[in-house]
Amino acid sequence: MMVLDDTFKRGFADQSDLFERVMALQGKIYREMDGRRTFQFTHAGKSYFAKLHFGVGWAEIFKNLLQFKLPVVGAVNEWKAIQKLNALNIDTMHLVGYGSKGLNPATRQSFVITEDLGNTLSLEDYCAPWKTQAPLSGQTLSIKRQLIQRLASVAKTLHQHGVNHRDFYLVHFLLDMTTSETQLAAGNITASLIDLHRVQIRRQTPQRWRTKDIGALYFASLEIGLTKRDIFRFMMAYQGGTLRQTLAQDKAFWQASQDRAIKLYNKLYQRNPEFPFRAGLI
């Protein structure tokens, strides 16, 4: 199976063996691991990103299954995830092409190609200065609050529609930097969610996967100087109720999410995080 945007397809002078031509593309490599390569390249004068899958092998598949993890054996996850996020009106990558070849999951080759998002900055990098230069007023404070609302809305929409990301970190949100500070403060924010190859889609999102997503996002936010009010603002936006309601009805969920964040933080930094709470979230 192969689907290519007509404009992208016309960029190949030779239209024969297009699957092999796509799999042979080269460019600036951003990641290469587990039979998968992600890189940026230029085609017919336009910038794109490609994620090529060359087959992970049976050893990797069995290792994941023995660890009770669903192995990622191709680009189909990302292809379906992009389409799902588009249907949910969540900012993400613009799909240009997808292809898959072979029936054996251990050796199947596949690709997904998206347009380069252009002038963007990950929220991890954008928010990093807040730890030492906390937004206290004006546009910077408004932008922080707008971003908290936006990420809570994205998480809520995903989870209400049976989607969980599995790598739900600030680094995987790319903020459009062509937008002015004034526009950002007014809520004109484009923060595209990327790295979708591990996304899971079901009829309903199980509680443990909601916890893992929110825990990962909370972990990624522990180094940007969030306040107690910031955390509460996210909680209320995610749950869609008052603070009293969410603390009363969903205490176990928020506690489990915080425990997840602490575990990830301890694993990376070998110490406990400095929470904006004396005794934790709850």
Active site residues: 167
Q: Torsion-angle region of residue 273: left (phi > 0), alpha (psi -120 to 50) or beta?
A: beta
**Scanning the structure block, which residue is given the tokens 């050796």?**
107
Question: Cα–Cα distance between 128 and 151 in angstroms, integer?
Answer: 16
- Rounded to whole angstroms, how far apart are CA atoms 185 and 176? 13
Q: What is the largest CA-CA distance in the chain?
A: 65
SS (H, E, C) 162-189: CEECCCCCHHHEEEECCCCHHHHHCCCC
Task: Specify which residues 49 forms β-bridges with.
Answer: 40, 114
Torsion on CA atoms 168, 235, 93, 121, rounded to nearest 10:
-80
> Are 8 and 45 spatial neighbours (Cβ–Cβ below 8 Å)?
no
Query: How many beta carbons lie within 10 A of that of residue 184, not counting itself?
Result: 23
List, in order, residues 6 or more apart from 14 with CB less than 8 Å away.
21
Enclosing H/E stretch for 100: strand 95-101
Give the chain's length. 282
Contact partners, residue 69, CB within 8 Å, separation at least 6: none
Beta carbons of 110 and 99 less than 8 angstroms apart: yes
Instruction: Report d(CA 217, CA 222) in Å as an integer.
Output: 9
